Amino acid sequence: MTAPPLTAPRLRVSALYVHPVKSCAGVRASELMLDALGAVDDRRFMLVDAAGNFVSQRRHPQLALVSVARAADSGVVLTVQGRAPLDVAVPETSLAPRLVTIWDDTVSVRDCGETAAAWLSAVLGLGVRLVHMGNDSVRPVDPRFAPHDARTALSDGFPLLVATDASLADLAERARTPLEMERFRPNVVLSGAAPWEEDTWDALQVGDITLRLVKPCARCAITLVDPRTGNVGVEPLRTLARFRRGADLGYGGADAGKTYFAWNALHDSPGRLRVGDDVRAVRRS
């Protein structure tokens, strides 16, 4: 059988993002290094409540206003208006791990200490802890969509998320309101595509790296949070529900009523992605 053809390299990487602390502000980058868990430093830190359940913008939109800077040795510096910055180091591997919950997964992490917990608890007005997932912790990707050895860090479920500028522009035009790409928290953004063309792609070839698009991303209330102000509105979910519901895209069951934007992806090897890289798409057969 002949393999599906590659498209001409009219696609390019237009933006790259890393989100060191799950649900805090993302960091725009000129390049991303990929390791076994996805983009290096992406979603390796996370807030949890007293019961060990992950905390996100879904219930605490003010997390969007916590800026994150990457620091040496994969640590982070957190900043929010009205408070002194917080430097957080990666916990020593000699510290005993603890188990926390993210969706249906139980993950082994290490606590980042009392200073980080007090700083973030004051920001949220809620008792929380900051935890870190090291490379020694194994969290498999859902085997329905991935090989048995595929792993992710503290993302919602997949190591990478791919979006296109054209689909965002079409969505904003339909919604009649500006929409920032940061609302959707992708890692890789592509230019040169037609709106929603990504639905036809099976994989992307970026240099020596193959990104397999394995599942469209169901969108949640985090997309309603303005990343500049932390205010919560009604877009883009209101508009997505008009034409990007699962039923509109041929999905049934529990997926039929969800709305979709961007694609979850797996990478086949470590490597480097850079803004400006040429991209070839492999169409679904």
pLDDT tens, position by position, 189-209: 999 999 999 999 999 999 999
Is 266 inside any structural domain?
A: yes
Is 3 inside any structural domain?
A: no
pTM for the full predicted model: 0.95
Identify the pLDDT of residue 148.
78
Is 5 inside any structural domain?
A: no
Is 36 inside any structural domain?
A: yes
CA distance linking residue 186 with residue 237, whole number of Å: 17
Is 1 inside any structural domain?
A: no
pLDDT tens, position by position, 207-222: 999 999 999 999 999 9
Looking up tokens 């990007």 gives 244
Strand order through the sheet with 86-88: 67-70, 76-79, 86-88
Sign of CA dihedral 116, 121, 127, 128: negative
Tally of structural domains, the chain: 1
Is 276 inside any structural domain?
A: yes
Is 2 inside any structural domain?
A: no
Whole domain around residue 264: which residue ranges? 11-283
Is 6 inside any structural domain?
A: no
CA distance linking residue 84 with residue 159, whole number of Å: 32
User: How far does CA 252 lie from the centroid of its chain?
Assistant: 25
pLDDT tens, position by position, 17-54: 999 999 999 999 999 999 999 999 999 999 999 999 99
CATH assignment of the domain containing 50: 2.40.33.20
